[in-house]
């Protein structure tokens, strides 16, 4: 048609500035109206009841299994932590795995696990060395073997790491350098951020199951309370990188967690199985003096309360005040571990780290906040709960770990002579 200039006519040339503006506009993401108006919130999800049932079913099984492992004792809890670490490492190793590149690098995947188990030997060797010594003290042969292992533990771990480093260098292939160095860096990040943090769980376990169970329970309670409050009342988005999190869920979970911390500490603090530290790797029943933190103190209510009020006072364990600090951290700071994981998943465009737990995702999806909490619980316990001055038990532990049996006998004779001279004098 004569009047139609759109057919067969060359496109009108645009200036460089116009082309630049066009590229900027095309690069900008078109905002999703449903998301900006809270369309991703649980309260607006049509399938929320179905997902809640699946999530609740999985949670019941996990909590039941967790309670059984707690009853079985320190070694079973430690084994559970190790299994969780292995599953987390597997999920994260697979996150950046590329099948096409791996076909050209046979055996390269085993290098990740070499570094992982080397880190496990180093960290757990440092944490459990004293308990291992205390376990084999009565057997002279085993005691000598364990003492030698502890003495050369760092050297063994170092050369294992160097062997892995040399293995990596020898497997470098042309046109695969970027992928291989990326995997090398990714493996070390997993070891530092995931494995090292979660290893503090084991340190907490042997200080007393209480210091493992209470922080872990508070994270579970915070997660469940945030889900329920957000499920029924969530209207106000909390943070962009995690669009289903709401202020209503965050505030409701914080209040629930702090109250639960105070109450749970009173219940758990009355069981010696939970409060006694484990000094060895045996599985026997524990019986110890719980210490002043776990001995109840009675507080009388003020006289201005009305006469009809049924209680005149309340019994509180001193550890409950420490539990409030743990509850504050679990409700306000620890959720940022979950926000970090959400941003991480968005960066790699994945919904979950895995699918091993129906309704929850992978093991890593359940452990993001737990790792942050484990470190804080350990640091808090060492800074504000453990006596800072030397004690008899601490000195004996150092003697058993650092001196041979012959040196211990010499020390015993000298100490006996010194005490005899003082008493006679």
Residues in contact with 407: Cβ distance below 8 Å, sequence separation at least 6, in sequence order? none
pLDDT of 381 over the 90 cut: yes
Cα 127 to Cα 121: distance, rounded to the nearest angstrom: 10
Cα 257 to Cα 214: distance, rounded to the nearest angstrom: 11
Total Cβ atoms within 10 A of residue 329 = 20
Residues in contact with 64: Cβ distance below 8 Å, sequence separation at least 6, in sequence order? none
The mean per-residue pLDDT over the stretch 270-296 comes to: 88
Q: Which two tokens stand for residue 378?
A: 């350990």
Mean pLDDT of the chain: 85
The mean per-residue pLDDT over the stretch 119-141 comes to: 88
The mean per-residue pLDDT over the stretch 27-41 comes to: 44
The mean per-residue pLDDT over the stretch 3-9 comes to: 45
Q: Which two tokens stand for residue 109?
A: 């995947």
pLDDT tens-digit readout, 37-85: 445 666 666 676 777 788 888 889 988 999 999 999 999 999 999 999 9
Percent over 90 (pLDDT), the chain:
45
| 294/361: higher pLDDT | 294
Identify whether the C-beta of residue 342 lies closer than 8 Å to the C-beta of residue 353.
Answer: no
Q: Which residue has the tokens 């500035």?
A: 17
Q: Write down the pLDDT at residue 321.
A: 96
Q: Strand pairing partners for 237?
A: 246
pLDDT of 189 over the 70 cut: yes
Cα 364 to Cα 356: distance, rounded to the nearest angstrom: 10
Cα 76 to Cα 65: distance, rounded to the nearest angstrom: 12
> Three-class SS of residue 316?
strand
Burial class (CB in 10 A: 0-12, 13-18, 19+), 377: buried
pLDDT of 182 over the 50 cut: yes
DSSP 381: I
Total Cβ atoms within 10 A of residue 183 = 23
Interstrand relation of 313-316 and 237-239 (parallel, antiparallel or unpaired): unpaired
Q: Which residue has the tokens 């350990």?
A: 378
């Amino acid at each position: 048609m004569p009047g139609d200039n759109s057919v067969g006519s060359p496109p009108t040339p645009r200036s460089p500035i116009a082309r630049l503006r066009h590229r900027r506009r095309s690069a900008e993401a078109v905002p999703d109206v449903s998301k900006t108006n809270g369309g991703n919130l649980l309260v607006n999800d049509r399938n929320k009841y179905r997902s809640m049932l699946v999530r609740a079913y999985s949670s019941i099984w996990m909590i039941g299994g967790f309670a059984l492992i707690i009853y079985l004792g320190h070694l079973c809890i430690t084994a559970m932590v190790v299994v969780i670490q292995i599953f987390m490492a597997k999920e994260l190793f697979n996150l950046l795995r590329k099948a096409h590149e791996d076909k050209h690098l046979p055996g390269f995947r085993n290098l990740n696990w070499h570094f992982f188990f080397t880190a496990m030997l180093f960290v757990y060797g440092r944490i459990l060395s004293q308990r291992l010594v205390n376990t084999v003290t009565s057997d002279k042969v085993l005691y000598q073997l364990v003492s030698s292992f502890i003495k050369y533990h760092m050297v063994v771990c170092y050369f294992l790491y160097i062997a892995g480093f040399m293995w990596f260098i020898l497997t470098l292939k042309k046109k695969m350098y970027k992928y291989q160095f990326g995997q090398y860096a990714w493996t070390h990040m997993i070891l530092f951020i995931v494995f090292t943090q979660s290893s503090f769980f084991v340190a907490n376990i042997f200080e007393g199951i209480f210091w493992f169970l209470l922080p872990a329970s508070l994270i579970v309670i915070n997660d469940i309370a945030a889900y329920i409050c957000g499920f029924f009342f969530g209207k106000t988005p909390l943070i962009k990188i995690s669009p289903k999190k709401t202020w209503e869920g965050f505030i409701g979970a914080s209040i629930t967690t702090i109250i639960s911390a105070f109450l749970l500490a009173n219940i758990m603090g009355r069981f010696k199985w939970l409060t006694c530290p484990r000094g060895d790797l045996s599985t026997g029943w524990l019986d110890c003096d719980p210490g002043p933190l776990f001995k109840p103190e009675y507080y009388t209510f003020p006289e201005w309360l009305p006469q009809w009020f049924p209680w005149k006072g309340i019994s509180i364990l001193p550890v409950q005040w420490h539990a409030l600090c743990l509850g504050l951290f679990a409700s306000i700071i620890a959720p940022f571990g979950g926000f970090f994981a959400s941003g991480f998943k968005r960066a790699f465009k994945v919904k979950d780290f895995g699918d091993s737990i129906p309704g929850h995702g992978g093991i890593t999806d359940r452990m993001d906040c737990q790792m942050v909490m484990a470190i804080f619980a350990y640091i808090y316990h060492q800074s504000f709960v453990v006596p800072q001055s030397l004690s008899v038990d601490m000195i004996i532990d150092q003697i058993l770990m650092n001196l041979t049996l012959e040196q211990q006998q010499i020390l015993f004779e000298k100490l006996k002579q010194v005490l005899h001279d003082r008493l006679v004098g």
